[in-house]
Structure 1
């Protein structure tokens, strides 16, 4: 699939093996125009919903929905460390291939933000990984790759997991 007509390729990474395989695939199979850009994109969940870690409401009639600032700050710091590790891994893969890339980190719902960034960057192609989950889990959890295929304004290459 080597081509030299691509001006902008966005590769979405989340730290999973599948997303790193998608990055590797893009590096091995795509050729950008000389002025083209390869963007490694990572989307962080908002800290208040990160892995469902908000503290539970205070029992016995205490205020509910109260966010503890220290707790939120700890989640944000943890997310920054995770993001840094993900980007370092992605950049190592790219440097091993002598490919310079741009990185972008945004906060929000991954499926929506991936489509938004691909549109903002006028991507010619979106590359992403897909975990091998069963159809029942896909119904309940949704599929980021399926959402992107149906909502982004450019072709999508999905590298499936095993």
Structure 2
């Protein structure tokens, strides 16, 4: 069935759910895992500093750029630690796992790693955006579903009821 499962994860609760689903599937099929985290400013919790208008204040801009660089390095290191921890969890469960962390557009990067690693399956989370939010924010899972070179398992995220209602109301206003 599946021998090589690519698991696109982050440090969120949703990322944990995606990992657990992939680990269960790997146990059932004796597959190996490749855990992938894509470093992107699109990810919740990633450092995001606007430099707009700071060209008039070079000293401040330089200080902010250094602060942003430090925050980005901390973000990278936290993400690497999360990946190492999940590889250890997989090993404890008797599953062979490795990891990679890449910069880039999440959807494109996931598909490229799936292609180069020759994955049989990609497991990716879905945050539950719908309607206007999905149109405006885009959807990594939707991109992967349409561009991956292999099968894709989409793990539904935790959908807050108030967010789902707001998405539907926005869609109704646009219609």
TM range (shorter): 0.7 to 0.9
| Counterpart in the other structure of 1:134 | 130
- Equivalent position to 2:87, from 68, 87, 91: 91
| Counterpart in the other structure of 1:43 | 38
CA distance in 1: counterparts of 2:88 and 2:126, whole angstroms: 21
Gaps of 5+ in 1: none
Give the number of the structure with larger relative contact order, counting CA–CA contacts within 8 Å between residues 6 or more apart: 1
Q: Indicate whether 1:151 and 2:147 are aligned.
A: yes
Deviates more, 1:85-94 or 1:137-146: 85-94
Report the CA distance between 1:145 and its aligned residue.
Answer: 0.3
| Counterpart in the other structure of 1:104 | 100
The DSSP-based 3-state class of the residue aligned with 2:119 is coil
Given that residues 125 and 156 in structure 1 are in contact (C-alpha distance below 8 angstroms), is that contact kept between their aligned partners in structure 2?
yes
Report the CA distance between 1:161 and its aligned residue.
Answer: 1.3
Report the CA distance between 1:85 and its aligned residue.
Answer: 3.7
TM-score (norm 2): 0.73
TM-score (norm 1): 0.78
The DSSP-based 3-state class of the residue aligned with 1:6 is coil
CA distance in 2: counterparts of 1:130 and 1:96, whole angstroms: 27
Aligned 1:14-53 pairs, distance under 5 A: 14-30=10-26, 31-32=28-29, 37-45=32-40, 51-53=47-49
How many residues matched? 150
The DSSP-based 3-state class of the residue aligned with 1:133 is coil
Structure 1 residues 124 and 67: alpha-carbon distance in aligned structure 2, compared to 1, 3 A threshold: farther
Structure in which a larger fraction of residues adopt strand = 1
Structure 1 residues 27 and 53: alpha-carbon distance in aligned structure 2, compared to 1, 3 A threshold: same
CA distance in 2: counterparts of 1:141 and 1:77, whole angstroms: 25
The DSSP-based 3-state class of the residue aligned with 1:103 is strand
Structure 1 runs (4+) deviating above 6 angstroms are: none
- Aligned-CA RMSD value: 2.5
Given that residues 47 and 72 in structure 2 are in contact (C-alpha distance below 8 angstroms), is that contact kept between their aligned partners in structure 1?
no
CA distance in 2: counterparts of 1:15 and 1:28, whole angstroms: 19
Gaps of 5+ in 2: 159-175
